[in-house]
Structure 1
């Protein structure tokens, strides 16, 4: 019987940076805000992320970017209303 924890794959920072090419501080800020999977320590000097969680995060980001968003109705602006040329 396979133990699910043993079949998981964890990645270190250098592999994470290949998947998500952003600065370390951006990753720290996203983690702190709860918008990125949390890292954890395997040892006192080895920090890893769960690859499955990272892949899910990437898929969520991709889905959010591909959503069709309707443009705002500019006629409802309170400042700089749209001029009607008749």
Structure 2
């Protein structure tokens, strides 16, 4: 129903961003369907802001050089 990895769901649960799971048996965990559907509906109503990309100029290996100077002429 939710196409996220188990580890992603676990991390979101820890941050309070996803409904908490509960044990159905010692080896089986489940989520309340109504809570998950409410979470899905809340995700549909608010836009998701894309993550900002890394600053590739700060890489230690293969940094991208600044383009503030004009290209050299041959």
Match of 2:33 in 1: 51
Unaligned segments of structure 1, at least 5 residues: 1-18, 67-86
Q: Which protein has greater RCO, CA pairs closer than 8 Å, 6+ apart?
A: 1
RMSD of the TM alignment (CA)?
1.3
**Alignment TM-score, normalising by the size of structure 1:** 0.53
2:43 paired residue number: 61
Would you tell me which structure has more helix in proportion to its own residues? Answer: 1
Deviating runs (4+, > 3 A) in structure 1? none
Number of residue pairs matched by the alignment: 48
Distance 2:23 2:47 in 1: 31
Show the counterpart of 2:61: none
Alignment TM-score, normalising by the size of structure 2: 0.61
Counterpart of 1:39 in structure 2 is 21
User: Secondary structure, in 3 states, of the residue corresponding to 1:60?
Assistant: helix
Q: Gaps (5+ residues) in structure 2?
A: 49-74
